[in-house]
Structure 1
Amino acid sequence: MDSNKNEIDHVLKQAEVGFQFLQQSDVIERAELMYAIATEIETLDEILIETAHLETALPLARLQGEKARTVNQWRRYADAVKTGLYSEARIDRDPNGQFDLRKYNKGLGPVVVFGASNFPFAFSTAGGDTASAIGAGCSVIVKAHPAHLKTSQLMADAIQRAISKYGAPDGVFSHVISDSFTIGQQLVSHKLVKAVAFTGSFRGGKALFDLAQSRPDPIPVFAEMGSVNPIFLLSDYLTNNLEAFAKQYIGSLLLGVGQFCTNPGVLVGFSGEQLDRLKLALKNELKSASTGKMLHTGILESYNRLKSEMVQYEGVGILEEGQDNTPGEFAQALLVEAQATQVLTNPKLLEEVFGPFGLVISCSDQAEMKALLEQLDGQITITFAASEKDIRECTELFAIAQDKCGRLLFQGMPTGVEVQYAMQHGGPFPATTDPRFTSVGPDAVKRFIRPISFQNWPNEFLPKELQDGNPLQIDRLINQQWTKA
């Protein structure tokens, strides 16, 4: 629906009805709704892919893969919800009848999801935020991203068809179209909204967080706001992997025209002949590489402005530029270099440039690398391009890094995020607003639940998750023992 501020109250009242419907459903019933939504998305024909391609300039093959990932997310999250994993049912009964305590998790309430631009399927209207919120038992109000409105509408229609076929009220899912910042502010400020999910810039995420905290009743904002995802190069590993690493790194840096929140924008190594040879290999890889269109003109303009600012800083030199086949339309990749001493005195050099931009930092020794690591803000990922010998010799770096990120990689590249239980896609501020949670993988459901305890209640009035006889056959912790009994 095209929205103005006079319609928001109506949308939220419907969302409250949808939330109450989901609260009356059990985990198996919610999972069935999620499976239905997955099937409806899966059956969308080529018009979805073609529309998204025209609106985002993303390649057709990439969009086909992202659609499959989106369908898989809904089914994977539904599988997890159905097991009762996030109900976390606990029952404690005193053998002498002094108390009967039962606790489980229920949904927070209506959730506002802001669609992301860089993943029009998997992180936008029908993305993981929407799937995990409905899995938690929350209704969802999506504010469509203005860069792909037609794609967003096709996805919203699919979700609403599934909800209608299931027999759920329309308010389980609402789709708001508006390019007005005021509408977004109204949604976050509305008394019926109980949580917000956002993927995008630091500026946008922090503004939503501050607004949510200024409410009379503050609510959580789960904002994923970006990261430079540094890679720390250690000597023993580089001795045997220099050429292969250079190819891997440039491939990751340019993947998706650098428009991934896990893009490895900073590369840190030790000064010397080995790093000089790596820089030459990186230059050779980059100068023959071409990129493509960015998602929209706003992102391209921001990228060009930020990379121009970076090269103006003292001590920053240009290593290599990628091809610029279509000036003013395609993004031109850029690799720059600086000494750690200069970066340590200018923290702005460690801020994200969203796009195909990389900074190579030279450290004189391990102490300087440690100082640089300690200065880092929170990151979604940190990677060690290292051998086991390197890690044994740099255990202090390894220990510090664990406090700085949500996902710590041993070799490989951070781009590519698996939708698994053990995935942590988030990190300490400013990478995200709450490092305790992930926005990828079934555990994303945890963001939108809260515990409630029932004391001495008659069995028939309890949620099925807590009733005697375990009618849902989920795992429960009964008197400190996990059981399906």
Structure 2
Amino acid sequence: MSTSQYQLTSSFIGNEAIVGEGDYFQAFAPGTSEQLTDEFSNVSSEQANLAVEKAADAFAVYTKLQASQRADFLDAIASEIEALGDALIERAVLESGLPTARLSGERGRTTGQLRMFAKLIREGSWVDARINPALPDRQPLPRPDLRRMLVPLGPVVVFGASNFPLAFSVAGGDTASALAAGCPVVFKAHPSHPGTSSLVGQAITAAAQKTGMPDGVFSLLHADNTVAQELVAHPAIKAVGFTGSRAGGLALLKIANERPEPIPVYAEMSAVNPVVVLPGAIQENAVKVAEGLAASVTLGVGQFCTNPGLVFLLDSPQTELFLETVAEKIRASAPATMLNAGICQNYQRGIQHNRVIPGVHVLAESEVEANEDKTEGRPTILTTTAPFFLCSPSLSEEIFGPSSVIIVCKTEAELADCLQTLDGQLTATLYATSAEISQSSFDWVSLLQAKVGRLLFGGYPTGVEVSEAMTHGGPFPATTDGGRSTSVGTGAILRFVRPFTYQSFPDALLPLALQDANPLGIWRNVDGVMTK
């Protein structure tokens, strides 16, 4: 399929492909530092407003559809994305600089999570149905019939992420979970991959039409920052999904909080994902742990929100071997193309800033110079000690790219002091033996649990499994909601619903999930007992 047909008609308001009335722009190929020939156009405020109005109209219909119908829609989206074939991957490679194999895997992740949510809502128990039948003879007061379940919030605005053109983009986890919950989606495309976004937008639109979804259940908009902010402020929008920078997430949160009706903003922002390495772990296998660190730091040119940006090493006889192994692997790692010029420039500025901080040293960097014409990031590892780290707050800030800072601590008390200073994070990793954990005077597990949404015992956090048990979130400022939700896994659906109770309703007027006969056959809590 040729992508040339998306020239100018790059946005979708409901089922209609439209030409944006705003500024024109072109996509950029970071691998070659060239502008691509396709022209795109941002939508106007009026066009964005129309998309939201359509979403509000669609919500009245979409929320009343049976879960099986919404599941068919999600499955159809997955099939339509797959039907795009090589054109989708080729365009994503051009716009992101990511390799074909990575993007093929990301497409599989995208379609897989769509089908995962389809399976979840077909089974149906996720609505958390709770029933307290009436007790008219209860003394001293009768109890009315009470029936509670989760219901969708309403239209949702979702912002695409730069580092995942597919899995955290147009048909990614935010869109999939919102549509599964029963919420129409107005999607604001990321300007780094407009052609990729338009292709997937067409796939979703085709799926909506084939499965009879209401017009407006999904819209794709290319928009500038002003229009994006207007989307968040629109009174018909009931929640926001965002993955990106701290500055961007906080700006959206401010707008949402200043509305006459504040709404939730589920923004995944910066994280440095600390790794704690105790002596027992590297005594058992210093080389393996060090090699794993170097591989995780450089994976995907370090452009993962779970990249291990800080490593706390408790000094031991194996410390030098660990550091030497990390240095060897980093020196042998080649620079690679980053997602766009802005990200590459920010990475270079961050490394330059940190390497001149007193007490900070360059442990190793790639032996190959980065090619600036290809927006390449050069793998770099810095080192310091606990006292210098504690005096340098900027070392705790995320540098998005293939780098990490190793902090060598002399005592457990120094290590604990360092960890206490950290902000909320998406993940933390603990390398230790069971004996070290149980015999230490510090409760490392509890200390780290208070800081993160996911704690690993060994391994590295750069793989985020899409599954029922995954938590991808964390205390502020890793996310804006204080780590009470996840953006990956089936639990992500809970961000876009609210609890609702029907009191003393006739059985025939209740949703199927709450009717006496339980026609859906789901698990329900009836007077405190889980039953079908």
Q: Quickly name the TM-score band, shorter chain normalised.
A: over 0.9
Q: Does 1:428 align with 2:468?
A: no
> 1:312-391 residue pairs with structure 2 within 5 A?
312-328=356-372, 329=374, 330-391=376-437
> 1:62-461 residue pairs with structure 2 within 5 A?
62-96=102-136, 98=142, 99-178=144-223, 180-328=224-372, 329=374, 330-394=376-440, 395-434=442-481, 435-461=483-509
Cα shift at 1:462 = 1.4
SS of structure 1 residue aligned to 2:162: coil
* 8 A contact 1:323–1:333 mirrored in 2: no
Q: Does 1:5 align with 2:45?
A: yes
SS of structure 1 residue aligned to 2:125: coil
* 8 A contact 2:265–2:480 mirrored in 1: yes
CA distance in 1: counterparts of 2:526 and 2:311, whole angstroms: 50
> 1:31-70 residue pairs with structure 2 within 5 A?
31-70=71-110
CA distance in 1: counterparts of 2:523 and 2:357, whole angstroms: 57
Cα shift at 1:468 = 2.2
* 8 A contact 2:351–2:399 mirrored in 1: yes
CA distance in 2: counterparts of 1:444 and 1:464, whole angstroms: 23
Cα shift at 1:391 = 1.5
> 1:471-482 residue pairs with structure 2 within 5 A?
471-482=519-530
1:23 to 53, 63, 77: 63
Amino acid corresponding to residue 374 of structure 1 in structure 2: Q
Amino acid corresponding to residue 158 of structure 1 in structure 2: A
Could you report, residue by residue, the CA deviation over 1:413-439 in whole angstroms, capped at 9, with x for unpaired residues?
Answer: 111000111111000000011111000
CA distance in 1: counterparts of 2:122 and 2:421, whole angstroms: 43
CA distance in 1: counterparts of 2:147 and 2:162, whole angstroms: 42
CA distance in 2: counterparts of 1:269 and 1:9, whole angstroms: 52
Could you report, residue by residue, the CA deviation over 1:95-142 in whole angstroms, capped at 9, with x for unpaired residues?
Answer: 436411111111111000000011111000110000000011000010
Q: Which runs of 4+ in 1 moved over 6 A?
A: none
CA distance in 2: counterparts of 1:18 and 1:305, whole angstroms: 46
* 8 A contact 1:237–1:390 mirrored in 2: no
CA distance in 2: counterparts of 1:191 and 1:469, whole angstroms: 38
TM-score by length of 2: 0.89
Aligned position for 2:36: none
Amino acid corresponding to residue 119 of structure 1 in structure 2: F
Unaligned runs of 5+ in 2: 1-10, 12-19, 21-42
SS of structure 2 residue aligned to 1:103: strand
Could you report, residue by residue, the CA deviation over 1:302-321 in whole angstroms, capped at 9, with x for unpaired residues?
Answer: 11111111112121111111
* Paired positions, count: 483
SS of structure 1 residue aligned to 2:216: helix
Cα shift at 1:35 = 1.4
Amino acid corresponding to residue 286 of structure 2 in structure 1: L
CA distance in 2: counterparts of 1:283 and 1:6, whole angstroms: 55
* 8 A contact 1:149–1:177 mirrored in 2: yes
Could you report, residue by residue, the CA deviation over 1:208-234 in whole angstroms, capped at 9, with x for unpaired residues?
Answer: 111111111100000000210111000
Amino acid corresponding to residue 131 of structure 1 in structure 2: A
2:516 to 445, 460, 468: 468
* 8 A contact 2:385–2:409 mirrored in 1: yes
TM-score by length of 1: 0.98
Which sits farther off after the overlay, 149-158 or 466-475? 466-475
Cα shift at 1:325 = 4.6
Amino acid corresponding to residue 479 of structure 1 in structure 2: D
CA distance in 1: counterparts of 2:432 and 2:370, whole angstroms: 38
Could you report, residue by residue, the CA deviation over 1:338-385 in whole angstroms, capped at 9, with x for unpaired residues?
Answer: 111111122111110000011000111000101111111101000001
- Provide the alpha-carbon RMSD of the alignment: 1.2
CA distance in 1: counterparts of 2:446 and 2:106, whole angstroms: 35
SS of structure 1 residue aligned to 2:443: helix
Cα shift at 1:326 = 4.3
The alignment-based identity, stated in percent, is 43
Cα shift at 1:467 = 1.6
